[in-house]
Structure 1
Amino acid sequence: MAHLQPARPRVSLSKKFANFTNSTAGLDLTLRLIHALAIIAAEVFIDNAIVVGCVTAASQLALGRRYLRLFSFVGCFERVRNVLAGDAPLAGSVLTTMELVESSCLGLYLILESLTILHDMNIWLVSWYTPILIEGNKFWFYAICTSIARTVGMLLFGLGTEGKLQKANPNTDEKKGQEKLSPSTPVPSTTSLLKLLVADSCDLTLPASFLGWVNPGGLGVGCAMVVSTVLPWGDVWARVQQ
């Protein structure tokens, strides 16, 4: 007699939300959404007291989110090391080069941003605060542009899809006589690539507006942040529940 597997207990929504916010990625997305809404509220409301409160909240949330990524540059440079060592599963020299450029630029942005955190905490005020942030945001802009170029290449030219399927051991059964194909690494779906493209395009307005290259205004920046925060929300939510 077959043994019936006990049904898995249903996880409550509050438990799922706790799992989400207890993860670094989930907590950052949550704070980022509140941060974006505070920026939008500061542009929408007319009452001066509310505007000042929203601006203060946005500033403090931005600083709080920086604590979460204070040492994230280590992961970026570790990624660069893995790619150079051949440990990263990337297909083709084009994707490898793009990954190196993106991770290097993102790591440089994060380490330059980390150098200014004591200034933002009013602990150690420095004269090179603004120049460092300007150069850091340039690297962030370059990293996002590289990510967009890679995503477009994967969508239009199939970059990264070649070599994703590798031959497994051939079937020894002469009646079948066919080789099986097994995926070595999952191929990103078109939907996930489009979501990434839209999110990166929205994120591009953040360093560009800081550098003065575009002027979307506070409302435009806030709306772009909302879109680029909501798009990956479902994927992160599902991942942290596993």
Structure 2
Amino acid sequence: MTGLYEHFVAFGVDNAGLERLMRLAQSFMMILTSYPAFLQYLTSYTPHLATLATLSSTSSHLNLVRRWLRTFRFFDTFSRSVSLYMSQEKALDTWLSAHAATCLGIFGMLETITVLDLCRIEGLEVFGYKEALGINLEAQRFWFMGLLLSACSTLVKLVRLSAYKPVPATGDGYGTSAEKDGKTVEERLREERKRRKDEKKAHSKKMKDEVTTLSFRFAADVMDLVIPATALGWVTQNWGRASIIMFLTSVLTGTEVWWKVGKKLQTT
């Protein structure tokens, strides 16, 4: 069995896991910047403006590093959307997921083409810093639509799972002869009952894990909608609230990555 230390190391070296850890740290610094009283409660001294400026600058740098980690991820997102569009069976959730992946891919692409401008390195500007900020603001619209469509797709999957729970296969059933393979009918009946019980338990665990994963994903997508909506001015601009939501969704999405890394470790 994999220990906690090995699991955490695997999570930390995983690109998605590292990005989630940095997002968690960034959101925590945003919370401290937005609510100095909370920082005072943690440190027992009144934070100076220089301290708040340092936290804000560190948060911005973490955001920039996270963008570099996601530089080519939009290619994978576009590839996933094409696969969904080309799939033979297109249910409602398939169409929603395909459109969600397209919007998220465009969002990632717009973030990628402006990352050099946000570094503010003289001579490496592509669009210019001010123009890059405008492009990133437009990117928030695609992020919002991608999150909304993804949440709808996940909700459809959850409804389908709750409404349709297939019974696992039971095999050939009970033996009809008095003896088979040297075993009596009673022995075969006991084995059959045990096999059915194990199959039912495994099936229930699989369903529970799938529902839990989808529930976490749905909650994260719905809560994350507040962040682009705040950036676009569609809701009251309260970055303290947005940073708290960002912290919570970092935990939710990071947990999903943690589970995936754990499964990989168990198969190796």
Q: Same fold (TM over 0.5)?
A: yes
Report the counterpart of residue 121 of structure 1 in structure 2: 119
Q: Is the 8 A contact 1:92 1:160 kept in 2?
A: no
Q: Is the 8 A contact 1:113 1:136 kept in 2?
A: yes
1:24 is aligned to 2:18: no
Q: Note the C-alpha offset of 1:106.
A: 0.4
For 1:240 and 1:139, locate their aligned partners in 2 and report how far apart those are by CA, in whole Å: 29
Query: Within 5 A, what are the aligned runs for 1:51-70?
Result: 51-70=52-71
For 1:145 and 1:161, locate their aligned partners in 2 and report how far apart those are by CA, in whole Å: 23
1:105 is aligned to 2:100: no
Report the counterpart of residue 96 of structure 1 in structure 2: 94
Distance change in 2, residues 1:160/1:128 (3 Å) = farther
Report the counterpart of residue 85 of structure 1 in structure 2: 86
Number of residue equivalences: 223
Superposed CA deviations along residues 166-208 of structure 1, whole A, max 9, x for unmatched, are 99897498859xxx99x8xx65643333222221122111111
Deviates more, 1:146-155 or 1:164-173: 164-173
Q: Which has the larger radius of gyration?
A: 2
Q: Is the 8 A contact 2:84 2:98 kept in 1?
A: yes
For 1:21 and 1:73, locate their aligned partners in 2 and report how far apart those are by CA, in whole Å: 21
1:223 is aligned to 2:244: yes
1:212 is aligned to 2:213: no
Q: Is the 8 A contact 2:84 2:95 kept in 1?
A: no
Q: Note the C-alpha offset of 1:235.
A: 3.1
Deviates more, 1:230-239 or 1:214-223: 230-239
Q: Which has the higher helix share?
A: 2
Distance change in 2, residues 1:196/1:174 (3 Å) = same
Deviates more, 1:125-134 or 1:29-38: 125-134
Report the counterpart of residue 146 of structure 2 in structure 1: 143
Superposed CA deviations along residues 208-242 of structure 1, whole A, max 9, x for unmatched, are 11111112522111110111011233332232231
Amino acid at match of 2:56: V
Q: Is the 8 A contact 2:118 2:132 kept in 1?
A: no
Distance change in 2, residues 1:166/1:106 (3 Å) = farther
Q: Is the 8 A contact 2:74 2:109 kept in 1?
A: yes
Query: CA RMSD, aligned part only?
Result: 3.0
Q: Note the C-alpha offset of 1:148.
A: 1.4
Deviates more, 1:139-148 or 1:186-195: 186-195
For 2:106 and 2:83, locate their aligned partners in 1 and report how far apart those are by CA, in whole Å: 17
From 203, 215, 224, the equivalent of 1:194 is 215
Q: Is the 8 A contact 2:110 2:139 kept in 1?
A: yes
Structure 1 unaligned spans of 5+: 1-7
Distance change in 2, residues 1:25/1:55 (3 Å) = same
Report the counterpart of residue 50 of structure 2 in structure 1: 49
Q: Is the 8 A contact 1:35 1:61 kept in 2?
A: yes
Superposed CA deviations along residues 97-136 of structure 1, whole A, max 9, x for unmatched, are 1011101000011001111111101130525323321221
Deviates more, 1:44-53 or 1:24-33: 44-53
For 1:198 and 1:148, locate their aligned partners in 2 and report how far apart those are by CA, in whole Å: 8
Superposed CA deviations along residues 69-88 of structure 1, whole A, max 9, x for unmatched, are 1111100111122123327x
Structure 2 unaligned spans of 5+: 37-46, 177-188, 190-198
Distance change in 2, residues 1:160/1:134 (3 Å) = farther
TM-score of the two chains, using structure 1 as the length reference: 0.79
- Percent identity of equivalent pairs: 26
From 18, 25, 42, the equivalent of 1:34 is 25
For 1:140 and 1:232, locate their aligned partners in 2 and report how far apart those are by CA, in whole Å: 16
For 2:77 and 2:135, locate their aligned partners in 1 and report how far apart those are by CA, in whole Å: 19
Q: Note the C-alpha offset of 1:34.
A: 0.4
